[in-house]
A and B are shown apart, each in its own frame.
Chain A
Amino acid sequence: EDQVTQSPEALRLQEGESSSLNCSYTVSGLRGLFWYRQDPGKGPEFLFTLYSAGEEKEKERLKATLTKKESFLHITAPKPEDSATYLCAVHKAAGNKLTFGGGTRVLVKP
């Protein structure tokens, strides 16, 4: 059965304190791994798509990487506005669905 597990569930950071979020997955035939950001009362906002092991994507203070079993979202020198829940989802080659992880709630304190 396809599984996506995110850790930690919650992360409290001081402003400027870099850290990494983990997304572990077990799926046959990965077609793409997606990272989303979700603010309270809002829908998920797309951040990155990664397609193959070794791929990296960057956007401002965020960098996503992918291996054959997991993906990391690195937050460098975070600011309070980076506080959100970060969601990981995988799309496998067969089927129409995205399988989501439970998310990591990130709180960046000034």
Chain B
Amino acid sequence: ETGVTQTPRHLVMGMTNKKSLKCEQHLGHNAMYWYKQSAKKPLELMFVYSLEERVENNSVPSRFSPECPNSSHLFLHLHTLQPEDSALYLCASSPILQGDQPQHFGDGTRLSIL
């Protein structure tokens, strides 16, 4: 399997549930990212990891909790979400941080909050 794989592809959850999104990259990259894509808004960067260390947190609410156990895997743990958190959550990776190489994206998890 190649590229960036995200699971699940779709997720419906209540505001009190706890769930996790998973991202796996098979590109040998050292940097990984979480983005949020809402309708009619540009992609918003949420978190950046380099070599499993979080290097950026873009003022994201604490109900989103990232985890990067190794350079190939990235998780986004969700709890007590709000309806406005419904969106497409995209994972991306790049060879190194601050490099000139493009980021490669997965196909996202479509999240719906009831």
**Chain A interface (Cβ within 8 Å of chain B)?**
4, 31-32, 34, 36, 41-46, 49, 51, 87, 89, 91, 95-103
Contacts and interface: CB of A to CB of B under 8 A. Distances in A.
Nearest to B106: A43
Interface residues of B, number: 26
Contacts, number: 54
Question: How would you classify the secondary structure of chain A's contact residues: helix, strand, loop or mixed?
Answer: strand
B40 to A, nearest CB: 7
Contacts of B110: 41
A36 B42 CA distance: 13
Contacts of B48: 96-97
Contacts of B55: 96
Nearest to A102: B42
B90 A4 contact: no
Interface in B94-114: 97-98, 100-108, 110
B56 A87 contact: no
B56 A31 contact: no
B45 A103 contact: no
A36 B45 CA distance: 16
Nearest to A34: B102
B4 interface: yes
Contacts of A97: 45, 48, 56, 58
